[in-house]
Chains A and B, each alone.
Chain A
Amino acid sequence: MRAATTITVGSHAPQFNGHGIWIDGQSGRPRRVALSFDDDAGEMVIDNRIAWPFQRIRRLRDQADPDRIVLRSADDRVGRLVLERPEELRVIETRARRLNRAPPPNVPLARIVAWAAAALASVALIIFVLVPVMADRLAGFLPLEGERALGEATFEQIRRALGDEFEGPLSTCDAPEGQAALIALQERLLPHADLAVPVTLRVLDHEMVNAFALPGGQIVVFRGLIDAAGTAEEVTAVLAHEMGHVAARDPTRIALRSAGSIGVLGLLLGDFAGGAVVLALTNQLIQADYTREAEAAADTYAHRVLLDADLPPEGIATFFERLAGDAGAPTALEQHFLSHPAMGDRIAAARAATPDGRSFAPALTEAEWAALQAICEE
């Protein structure tokens, strides 16, 4: 009777007598064990044989049953202690203050970082070095028919990517008089173009101010570019520039590159970003981020062809200046164009290539130019 009413203070009482099941991680023989505290040593003692420092006791996290409590020591990877009476956790909690911390990881962080760096370096090497180098080499060996097929596939890909979900792929503009004007421009340039592939000119109904070449001699102009151009000469100058890319097979390189890198990016970003990847790469195809040398070469080529065809190379310069001087705020795309460091050089080069005081034959008649501007109207 007296013993029961004694109030003891300090670390010796009340005694904790817990009930656990000890899983040693060596055999499939779980054992019932008694749990007690050794507060002097700061340890929980399991069956007088194993001692866990309070600070090292961890609880398994994300368990389905909150009443089936499994404990471990941060220092023991396999041993586990199942509490037979979940309410005893409250007592253990008063000592084991780091119960809910994560146990130390099995994989050293340094190794993860090293592998992550290696993996990213390898992906970067593949996308930025290996695939471009191979694409550049292979582009030279691609037979013409293969190039045309690639161009056709790429063209369809662009129409789909820029099209509307409801109205389907982007439509090509083919009002007859406009087509006739386009062919007139083509006939004017081609005799001087010296191209190995037949050229196909097409206009797509999109407001973007852009034109690009695709493998196999396809040149695509967006309606936005015709709208933005002030004269037929400006459109012609852009076409001549794109023919320069065709002559150098630049688009084939870009398309082969995208064939290599599209899957790699999809792999990295997972499935739900797949659509975004296709869009980004399509964007790359039509923005055609060629090297400065490739752009300069296409310009030089254009200057020669234009002069031979009795057209002013200056069209390139006036077109870019018109975009820059447009009263309306320039779109993000035009900003990109104009901020390009090479742009000033290109304008200057086009000016320099135009002999002073020479007069040229107009690219199109007034009526033909009006028809070209209306090529997307049914």
Chain B
Amino acid sequence: MDGQDTSRIHVGPGPAPSPTWPGGARPRLLPDASPPPPEPLLLDADTLPVDCAATRGPLFRLALKTGALTVITLGFYRFWMKSRLRRWYWSSVRPGGLPLEYVGEPLEKLLGFLIAVALLAFYIGVVNLLLMFLSLSVFEGAAPAFLLSFVGVIPLWFYARYRARRYVLGRTRWRGLRFGMDPGAWGYAKTALGHWAATILTLGLLWPRMTFALEKYRTDRTWFGSLKLRQTGDWRMLVPAFTPLAVAGLATAGIGLLALFSAPEFAAGLILAVPAFLYAMIHYTVTAKRLMAEAKRAGDLRLSARPRPPRILRIYLFGGIAMVIVTAVLLSPLVIAFGVLQGELEARMIEDPILLAALGLVAYMISALIWATLTHVFITMPKWRHYAETLTLHGAESLPWVHQRHRDEATQAEGFAEALDVGAAI
């Protein structure tokens, strides 16, 4: 009977009386209205846990406000939106209690974008025109021109992504020290193209080799203050995490082909195969990140990382559901207003099709704004928080001997990524 007593659920206010206290029930598991104590600032410890201060409410307000300004200014404010959101995200991550700082400025992003547009306008205008002419002259069709023009932009994507990362790292500080990245965007584009070619030719089997090589290329050029980072390890360490993905991928493709060409009844198998494939994808992405983070070195500094694939799956799953529900709730006034005014609106619209187009555009913009905001709140931020909170920094006693590096002017900022629309989620 005594054993039952200890497991009884306590519903009243205040802490539950526990017969085994302090050895049994831990008080922090019980409802507690007092605010959590501020995270301690660890200045001299060797092992620094990373905590994350990101919460949904403030992010929702910031993302909605900056997103609305971006829509109202026809996209012009997006450089400010990006800078402000990054400041927020960066400041939420605090190894040993001291936050990261993002110091990128909106105006330099605008400048970089303008430079990229000026350079790309030449490429896209003149080169596309020549390609179109050649394609029409030689192939008597426009399709080869579109294909060639697309293929010509692919190296630029990788170039742009490297430049964007270099810019973002160059504007990230922790403990007052700048991160940085050596130039090498064209080399990155070359490496990426080579690995993509190898991956495609082996039907995806060399994917882990590419994941590792590209991460190594970036990491080996990254600096934290005067410390150079190194990616140790080997691509083969990613293979065990990749095996389920390869199996699920082959199974999905096999079942799909069977269902398509010979036995349609196999299509039911996709109900199992596709989710398995998606989960295997999450498992591989998360595990690869973890393994590669733990194999990074910077002097005596190293990381331990414990991100969990099931947690990321839950974020996608429940985050997605939450997004749909909240969007429906937020848009319902719009839908109701439309329902009430329908008769009135229809009469007006027949007179004035411009009104219809304008209303449609406004409704589209509002929906896109809400969706983008909720993506931050329910997907991007929870993932960010999970990755941050599961990190621990070791070897921090060496930090006092790290010194500052020069500011990377990075005049073009992330302009190419912005113009080509290959930026990261944040």
Contact = CB atoms under 8 A, between A and B. Distances in A.
B128 A260 contact: yes
A251 B212 CA distance: 52
A120 to B, nearest CB: 8
Interface of A: 21, 23-32, 60-68, 70, 78-80, 82, 84, 86, 105-107, 109, 111-112, 115-116, 118-120, 122-123, 126-127, 130-131, 134-135, 138, 141-143, 145-150, 153, 256, 259-261, 263-264, 267-272
Contact of B108 (A106, A116, A149): A106
A260 B129 contact: yes
A138 B133 contact: yes
A135 B91 contact: no
Given A28-B225, A28-B403, A61-B87, 18 more contacts: A27-B400, A27-B404, A28-B176, A60-B87, A62-B85, A62-B91, A63-B99, A64-B58, A64-B89, A64-B99, A105-B107, A116-B114, A127-B121, A142-B136, A146-B137, A260-B126, A267-B120, A267-B121
Contacts of A61: 84, 87
Nearest to A145: B140
A64 B54 contact: yes
A112 B107 contact: yes
Contact of A65 (B84, B99, B136): B99
B161 to A, nearest CB: 17
A70 to B, nearest CB: 7
B91 A256 contact: no
Q: Which of B38, B85, B124, B136 has the most CB of A within 10 A?
A: B136
Contact of B92 (A65, A116, A261): A65
B105 interface: yes
Nearest to A271: B421
Task: Bin chain B's interface residue count.
Answer: 35 or more
Given A25-B176, A28-B176, A135 B129 contact: yes
A60 B421 CA distance: 29
A131 B98 contact: no
Given A27-B401, A62-B88, A64-B88, A80 B101 contact: yes
B399 interface: yes
B368 interface: yes
Given A112-B110, A118-B118, A147-B136, A21 B98 contact: yes
Contacts of B118: 118-119, 122-123
B121 A264 contact: yes
A141 B138 CA distance: 12
A112 B120 CA distance: 18
B43 interface: yes
Given A28-B225, A30-B43, A126-B121, A149 B399 contact: no
Contacts, number: 198
B327 interface: no
B141 interface: yes
B53 interface: yes
B142 to A, nearest CB: 4
A56 B85 CA distance: 25
Contacts of B133: 138, 141-142, 146, 256
Contacts of B128: 259-260, 263
Interface in B333-360: none
Contact of B175 (A28, A32, A105, A118): A28
Chain B contact residues, majority secondary structure: helix
Given A119-B114, A142-B133, A142-B136, A62 B87 contact: yes
A297 B97 CA distance: 77
A107 B175 CA distance: 23
B229 interface: no
B132 interface: yes
A116 B109 CA distance: 12
Contacts of B114: 115-116, 118-120
Contacts of B132: 150, 256, 259-260
18 contacts: A27-B402, A29-B399, A30-B98, A61-B84, A64-B58, A65-B91, A70-B91, A86-B38, A116-B110, A120-B114, A127-B125, A130-B125, A131-B129, A134-B130, A149-B141, A256-B133, A260-B128, A270-B75
Given A70-B101, A127-B125, A130-B126, A119 B55 contact: no
Q: Which of A26, A82, A130, A263 has the most CB of B within 10 A?
A: A263
A30 B95 CA distance: 13
Nearest to B418: A270
Interface string B79-117: 000001101110110100111010001011011001101
A261 B125 CA distance: 6
Nearest to A65: B53
B175 A115 contact: no
Nearest to B421: A271
Interface in B123-164: 124-126, 128-130, 132-133, 136-137, 140-142, 145, 149
A112 B110 CA distance: 8
Nearest to B87: A62
Contacts of A130: 125-126
B21 interface: no
A109 B403 contact: no
B324 to A, nearest CB: 21
B41 A21 contact: yes
A52 B110 CA distance: 31
A78 B108 contact: no
A64 B55 contact: yes
B213 interface: no
B53 A68 contact: yes
A19 B192 CA distance: 49
A301 to B, nearest CB: 25
A224 to B, nearest CB: 15
Contact of B94 (A23, A62, A68, A143): A68
Interface in B397-412: 399-404
Question: Which 3 A/B pairs are nearest by Cβ-Cβ distance?
Answer: A146-B136, A64-B92, A65-B53
B101 A60 contact: yes
B69 interface: no
Q: Which of B140, B173, B403 has the most CB of A within 10 A?
A: B140
A107 B140 contact: no
B125 A264 contact: yes
B214 interface: no
Given A68-B94, A107-B105, A62 B84 contact: yes
A116 B121 CA distance: 14
B178 to A, nearest CB: 8
Contacts of B58: 64, 66
Nearest to A67: B38
B177 interface: yes
Nearest to A146: B136
Given A25-B176, A28-B403, A130-B126, A115 B111 contact: yes
A123 B117 contact: yes
Nearest to B402: A28
Contact of A272 (B55, B91, B368, B404): B368
Nearest to B413: A107
Contacts of A27: 176-177, 400-404
Nearest to A215: B136
B251 interface: no
A131 B125 contact: yes
Nearest to A130: B126
Contacts of B419: 267
